[in-house]
Amino acid sequence: MTIDKRAVKTAYIATDILSAVLAWLFFYWYRHQISGELKPGKFFSLFYSSVAISVFWVLVYAFWGFYKDYFRKSRIKELYYLSSSVIFGVVVIFLILILDDDGTKGYQKFYKTTGLYFFIHLIFSGFIKVWYLTIVKKLIQNQTINFPTLIVGNGPAAWDIYRDIVNNSQHLGLNFKGFVHLGMKSEKMESKTLLPDLGHYQKMDALIEKYEIEQVILAIEATDHQHIEEILNITEGKKLIISILPDIYQILLGLVRVQHVFGTPLIEIRQDLMPVWQQVVKRAMDIGISTCVLVLGAPFLITVGIITKFTSKGPMLFFQERIGKNGITFKIIKFRSMATDAEKLGPALSSTHDPRITPWGRFMRKTRIDEFPQFFNVLVGEMALVGPRPERQFFIEKIMEIAPHYRHLNRVRPGITSLGQVKYGYAENVEEMVRRLKFDIIYIENMSLGMDFRILIYTVLTVLGAKGK
């Protein structure tokens, strides 16, 4: 018997609502009955406040990422992150709801009341979360909840990791569906592990869909490491946990981290590029800054558009199809900086002394003014302020012939500016696009708000110094 994982998540959210309501009721009872801070009728409706508080805490926990990968949570780490989220939530509640009520006149009472609610909520929420996660872990251990898993490899490393997980890591809840081989089919693997050989690894795409695979373990021998990039390209964009068996050098370099003290040592290849709260803040910044630029900068944008229109023949704006997040096509908007017949002979990249660029267009490119209409692309969610520059399908196909890992860029929204652009600038040919690619990969694998701020500052300095090309 297996349990629907969505029902488990729903129950997890329900326990958060329960703990929030219980903590709020206890807090109200203490202030009303024990401390005498509240007089009847002075505290707003208990029922409506309980509903509002429970919704608020669910949003806070979602913002902190509690509802992602909730089956594999460490209870100790859960309590650690819970403490920081409760501090944030309590401060917001007291600043908005309770700062001016009759029971908190004076700073001493305010701090005392704030601390009281913090500990009450933390105790109720922490106890119920640990209790529920303990139940979930027991369900995982007895395979009531399990995760369909595929092993990539058919050598000694694959045999060892399968045996180790089956014997020592049942708490992981992995339900092995079989293995895929890298070369010749292995009869020894089938006989030793009793797992079916599902075929060559290049068929993984169909196998993942057929068996609803949730985790892939790369148990690859040192001599077969050249296949890793291709396997990662095959699994790109799929909701999978991908782990790799480390070698001794990775262990010595400190790259191996285990979720459980006695767990099988695996390097988990993270699919989540940023914590949930940073993703929310990043998108909020995109919307806020884009709105300000488009509204407050409207006179400037109109002026640039008029100059563009009257300094060369053709429209003031230029629209072109680009490939965005998840491979979705959208139309990028720019101020036109080239002659209208610039690509009459087919798609072509611009160069430093490109005769197709108009005199005014050359100035706009140096100051990046031509990019300003893209704030509308950011506002509607097609782009971000910071992210890899979007390319046309024609050039993507050329890049993929040399660097198949380009597809990793489709994991994020493309940006107005990027690490590749500030470090390398505009590429004039496919080879330069490939060289710039490494900076975009570095950005994706190290995404954070801090990196975004640094790139934005560098971009502003480039615009002010007219250092673009």
Q: Does domain 147-269 have CATH number 3.40.50.720?
A: yes
The tens place of each residue's pLDDT in the chain, 469 residues long, gives 667 888 888 999 999 999 999 999 898 888 776 555 555 544 457 788 888 899 999 999 998 888 887 787 778 888 888 998 999 999 888 877 655 555 555 566 767 778 889 999 999 999 999 999 999 989 988 888 889 999 988 777 788 888 888 887 777 888 899 888 887 666 666 666 678 888 888 888 899 999 999 999 888 766 666 677 778 778 877 788 888 766 655 555 555 555 544 556 666 766 667 888 888 899 999 999 999 999 999 999 999 999 999 998 889 999 999 999 988 999 999 999 888 877 776 777 776 678 888 899 889 888 889 999 999 999 999 999 999 999 999 889 888 888 877 888 888 999 999 988 887 777 778 888 888 888 888 888 788 898 899 999 888 887 776 555 5
Domain residue limits, the chain: 5-141, 147-269, 276-464
SS (H, E, C) the chain: CCCCHHHHHHHHHHHHHHHHHHHHHHHHHHHHHHCCCCCCCCCCCHHHHHHHHHHHHHHHHHHCCCCCCHHHCCHHHHHHHHHHHHHHHHHHHHHHHHCCCHHHCCHHHHHHHHHHHHHHHHHHHHHHHHHHHHHHHHHHHCCCCCEEEEEECCCHHHHHHHHHHHHHCHHHCEEEEEEEECCCCCHHHHHHHCCCEEEEHHHHHHHHHHCCCCEEEECCCHHHHHHHHHHHHHHCCCCCEEEECCCHHHHHCCCCCCCCCCCCCCEEECCCCCCHHHHHHHHHHHHHHHHHHHHHCHHHHHHHHHHHHHHCCCCCEEEEEEECHHHCEEEEEEECCECCCCCCCCCCCCCCCCCCECHHHHHHHHHCHHHCCHHHHHHCCCCEEECCCCCCHHHHHHHHHHCHHHHHHHHCCCEEECHHHHHHCCCCCHHHHHHHHHHHHHHHHCCCHHHHHHHHHHHHHHHHCCCCC
